[in-house]
Amino acid sequence: MTLQLRPSDDVEYRQLTADAAMPVEQTVEWDAYDATVPGRAPWGRLVAWEGRDAVAVVSFSKVAVGAGVSWLWAKFGPVWLAEPTPERERALRDQLAASLRRVDPGIAFVRLHARYDDMDLVPVMQGITFDSTVVVDLTGTPEDVMSRMKKRGRRDVRKAEREEGLTVTEDTGLDRAAFDELYALFEETGERAAFGVHPADRYFEMMRLVGPEIMRMFVVREAGVPVAWAQVNVIGSHATYSIGASGEAARHSGAPDLLQWEIMQRLQAEGVTSYDLGGVGSEEFDSLAGLTLFKTKFHPDVVPAAAARDLPVRTAVYRALVTGRDLKQKARRGLARVRRR
């Protein structure tokens, strides 16, 4: 069956994805936030059809580079409504690239996710991606969820439950002053784990614009002071851990373990059946190996995930962008060496 790509409006898109495990970045609601990020804007949505059957949907952001050059970002997309075979993935990309060359010559490449690597794809020019994740099964009872944990996970949760002074609350829809208190923990976490964080405005506006129906906030406090938090996206019966933070003291009290366990129980009570803890390390993406130990405590199985890849559309322009990136990185390393002298 030949795969065909067609534009989709919001009504059709919502109908087709009503029962899908949707990443928030692939939802209609994401557009409100996307439109506020400088240099970025919603570009549109496509549906992949095989005859009368929709087999995939994908929503794009357009990112400006400069001098009339841009690229498309389908973060955590396409979302497959049918089995994403290598043939289906390649057919979608081939049609997409050919269409873009006709309708928008300024687009140099598309960043999207693929379960299967292929000759038309290259590693992302910059940024972190992953090809493995941990999905916690929330079906059954809380006891069922606990029984599916590793022994170490059950031990750490029970130990954290015995800690006096630790309390978990849902702070969804928090105001800016409350978020700023939590953001300080995020900065501390970023410094400790050596990852960059955006300004507080960006995260707060994202939660405000996408809305509390999807973007939920859970906080664990010790003696009334926030020590760890997690922002979780909930869409239908599927939830995804998005971002979070913890202070140094929380690591010793087990606050992150208690936080995740409380989140699981609350989501389960609402009818959520799966909770994706996000990326973990793998042979190709070993920089995330430190996350594997923590996340697999709650469910031992690591499952495949579609990794982000770049799909060059204008090959010569893409190569020029890569060269520019390499020169900038070389200049930064040189400047760093000078400063160390």
100 and 176 fall within a common domain: no
pLDDT of residue 339: 60
User: 117 and 253 share a domain?
Assistant: no
Residues 207 and 85 in one domain: no
For position 1, what pLDDT does the model report?
A: 66
Same domain for 284 and 146: yes
Q: In CATH, what number is assigned to the domain containing residue 222? A: 3.40.630.30
| Same-domain status, 49 and 92 | yes
The whole-number pLDDT of residue 67 equals 87
Q: Note the pLDDT of residue 9.
A: 97
**What is the per-residue pLDDT for 248?**
79
- In this structure, the answer to whether residues 112 and 250 fall within a common structural domain is no
SS3 226: strand
| Domain count within the chain | 2
Predicted local confidence at residue 207, as pLDDT = 96
Name the residue range of residue 17's domain. 3-127+307-340
pLDDT per position in the chain (341 positions), as tens?
699 999 999 999 999 999 999 999 999 999 999 999 999 999 999 999 999 999 999 999 999 998 899 999 999 999 999 999 999 999 999 999 999 999 999 999 999 999 999 999 999 998 889 999 999 999 999 999 999 999 999 999 999 999 888 999 999 999 999 999 999 988 887 777 667 788 899 999 999 999 999 999 999 999 889 999 999 999 999 999 999 988 877 777 899 999 999 999 999 999 999 999 999 988 898 888 888 999 999 999 999 999 999 999 999 999 999 998 878 777 666 665 666 66
pLDDT of residue 6: 97
Q: In whole angstroms, what is the distance from residue 185 CA to residue 268 CA?
A: 27
- 246 and 333 in a single domain? The answer is no
Instruction: State how far the Cα of 275 lies from the Cα of 262, in Å rounded to an integer.
Output: 12
Q: Is 119 in the same domain as 137? A: no
Q: What are the DSSP calls for 38-68, one per residue? A: TTEEEEEEEEEEETTEEEEEEEEEEEEEETT
Long-range contacts of 116-119 (CB under 8 A, 24+ apart): 116/84, 116/86, 116/89, 117/307, 117/309, 118/86, 118/89, 118/90, 118/93
Cα–Cα dist 22/240, whole Å: 9
Question: Is 261 found in the same domain as 160?
Answer: yes
Per-residue confidence (pLDDT) for residue 341, from 0 to 100 = 61
